[in-house]
Homo-oligomer: A and B are copies of this chain.
Amino acid sequence: MNIKEATRKMKQDSFRMAALSGEQRNAALEAVRIALLANREAIFKANHEDMEAAEKAGIAAAVMKRLKFDEHKLQDVTAGIAELIKLPDPLSKVQLARELDKGLELYRVTCPIGVIGIIFEARPDALVQISSLCLKSGNCAILKGGKETARTNKVLFEIIYQAAVHAGVPEGCMLQAELHNEIDELLSCHETVDLLIPRGSNQFVQYIMNNTKIPVMGHADGVCHIYVDACYDKEKAVPIIIDAKTQYTAACNAVETLLVNREAAEEFLPVISKALGENHVKVRGTREVAEIIPCEIMEEDAFDTEYLDLVLSVKLVDSVQEAVEHINRFGSHHTDCIITENRDTALTFMQLVDSAGVYQNCSTRFADGFRYGFGAEVGISTGKIHARGPVGLEGLVTYKYKLFGSGQIVGDYAGGKKQFHFKDLEA
């Protein structure tokens, strides 16, 4: 069966998946968790083969690390599933309950989105993580993993699928695509796939966003900023900048550009330059910055660069307004921070910066669903339609309006014979 047909069938059957109770979905998750632990040898064997092939193909060490699926990763993902089971059911939550008129009751109730396409590069743990999130939220999932871990993905998917179906999940509500050309086919399924979640490099996510009419949840770039205001605390600024740049350089919420108020520059630049040097971070800056500290000179139009490496762009600005304008122009609307002791300046910055996360006096690396206390993370969205920022399970649900009547017709209300009284009910 090709992907178009498969997703059409999945779409038609998706209401069976939506109809499972919270207990049934949790039971399926528990079955998946146990099956993954019970079949560790088969998983590790497949992953070992993938790793050997990758090594032969000369894949870079940093990528190799992401391909690996060992006991540590297994413990991580199964612990994640155990936590997911404990989270409240995201479905059938009543968001609004209103009596429109006597005997005419309106309820807004959460329900699954339907069919979700998941496309990811490398990281086979993403397959386990995202398929578990779809199970928890009653969504059908079509998964396409990277070719580098094709063997691992195949084994993982089979274990998850068999365990879930055995536990009562309808057949055909989860599907794996294995061929690379199936990505483009999946991207064309806008009539049957409700949402795409891509996980991978900027270019990968950008390609997906540019080549589909299906809504995409995620982010391509993460060009995050830290702005050091005139009224700043050095004791906070230095560790925050070092953490945001070096704690995990490949993360989307790592800082890429440092903006410094001109009033603070003479004092602060030498201090931060020393700390960055000690942490092996290379500085690129404007000519003006280069007059104060040693750095490679960069041009204005390069400020949209996401290094994902031990490199930091530095620029001076006159005011919080200039910082905001720079961030809104060159940033990626992900997460941006101001270092200031002035509450009003912080509030101005937070109001005006058009990003999913706007921070005062803490590391941009806090932009993460787990650190926000969401329990599970679907991803981080830089879109403004639907979920924004770190997205928990609520990003995988929508709602429907249920209206219970007793024979009401609109003609009576349009004609003035009856009136609505709009009384909120206990949910």
Residues of A within 8 A of B (CB): 12, 14-15, 18-19, 98, 100, 104, 106, 113-114, 194-195, 209-210, 213, 215, 217, 233, 235-236, 239-240, 242-244, 247-248, 324-325, 328-329, 346, 350-363, 365-367, 371-373, 383-386, 388-390, 398-411, 413-414, 420, 422
| A356 contacts across to B, CB distance below 8 A | 400-401
Q: Are B233 and A354 touching (Cβ within 8 A)?
A: no
Whole-angstrom distance between the Cβ of A193 and the nearest chain B Cβ: 11
Contact partner, A403, options B213, B324, B351, B360, Cβ 8 Å: B360
Looking at A12, A329, A354, A414, the one whose CB has the most chain B CB atoms below 10 A away is A354
Q: Are A98 and B373 touching (Cβ within 8 A)?
A: yes
Q: Are B407 and A233 touching (Cβ within 8 A)?
A: yes
Q: Are B12 and A328 touching (Cβ within 8 A)?
A: yes
Q: Are B324 and A405 touching (Cβ within 8 A)?
A: no
Whole-angstrom distance between the Cβ of A348 and the nearest chain B Cβ: 8
| A350 contacts across to B, CB distance below 8 A | 400, 402
Whole-angstrom distance between the Cβ of A168 and the nearest chain B Cβ: 17
Q: Are A414 and B247 touching (Cβ within 8 A)?
A: yes
Taking A236-B407, A359-B403, A385-B398 as given, write out 19 further A-B residue pairs in contact, using a Cβ cutoff of 8 Å, ordered by the A residue number. Answer: A12-B325, A98-B373, A100-B366, A194-B384, A195-B385, A213-B213, A243-B409, A243-B410, A244-B410, A350-B400, A358-B402, A360-B404, A362-B407, A365-B409, A366-B403, A373-B420, A385-B386, A386-B386, A388-B398
Residue of B nearest to A355 (CB): B400
Q: Are A405 and B362 touching (Cβ within 8 A)?
A: yes
Minimum-distance CB pairs A-B, first 6: A362-B405, A243-B409, A236-B407, A365-B410, A373-B422, A384-B398
| A388 contacts across to B, CB distance below 8 A | 398-400
Looking at A352, A408, A413, the one whose CB has the most chain B CB atoms below 10 A away is A408
Residue of B nearest to A107 (CB): B350
Q: Are B407 and A240 touching (Cβ within 8 A)?
A: yes
Q: Are A359 and B405 touching (Cβ within 8 A)?
A: yes
Give the complex CA separation of A178 and B371 in angstroms: 48
Known: A12-B328, A407-B362. A19 touches B352 (CB 8 A): yes
Give the complex CA separation of A220 and B89 in angstroms: 32
Give the complex CA separation of A236 and B411 in angstroms: 14
Q: Please tell me how many copies of the chain the complex holds.
A: 2
Q: Enumerate 11 A-B pairs (CB-CB under 8 Å) in ascending A order.
A: A15-B353, A15-B354, A195-B384, A195-B385, A235-B407, A355-B400, A360-B405, A361-B407, A362-B404, A362-B406, A362-B407
Give the complex CA separation of A367 and B352 in angstroms: 36
| A114 contacts across to B, CB distance below 8 A | 354, 384
Q: Are B239 and A409 touching (Cβ within 8 A)?
A: yes
Whole-angstrom distance between the Cβ of A64 and the nearest chain B Cβ: 22
Q: Are A409 and B240 touching (Cβ within 8 A)?
A: yes
Whole-angstrom distance between the Cβ of A347 and the nearest chain B Cβ: 9
| A367 contacts across to B, CB distance below 8 A | 401
Q: Are A371 and B19 touching (Cβ within 8 A)?
A: no
Give the complex CA separation of A325 and B383 in angstroms: 33
Whole-angstrom distance between the Cβ of A378 and the nearest chain B Cβ: 13
Give the complex CA separation of A309 and B303 in angstroms: 57
| A366 contacts across to B, CB distance below 8 A | 100, 104, 403, 405, 408, 410
| A213 contacts across to B, CB distance below 8 A | 209-210, 213
Q: Are B15 and A328 touching (Cβ within 8 A)?
A: yes
Whole-angstrom distance between the Cβ of A220 and the nearest chain B Cβ: 12
| A19 contacts across to B, CB distance below 8 A | 351-352
Give the complex CA separation of A373 and B113 in angstroms: 25
Q: Are B354 and A384 touching (Cβ within 8 A)?
A: no
Known: A371-B100, A400-B355, A401-B356. A409 touches B363 (CB 8 A): yes
Whole-angstrom distance between the Cβ of A407 and the nearest chain B Cβ: 4
Give the complex CA separation of A88 and B203 in angstroms: 42
| A247 contacts across to B, CB distance below 8 A | 409-411, 414
Contact partner, A384, options B113, B406, B420, Cβ 8 Å: B113
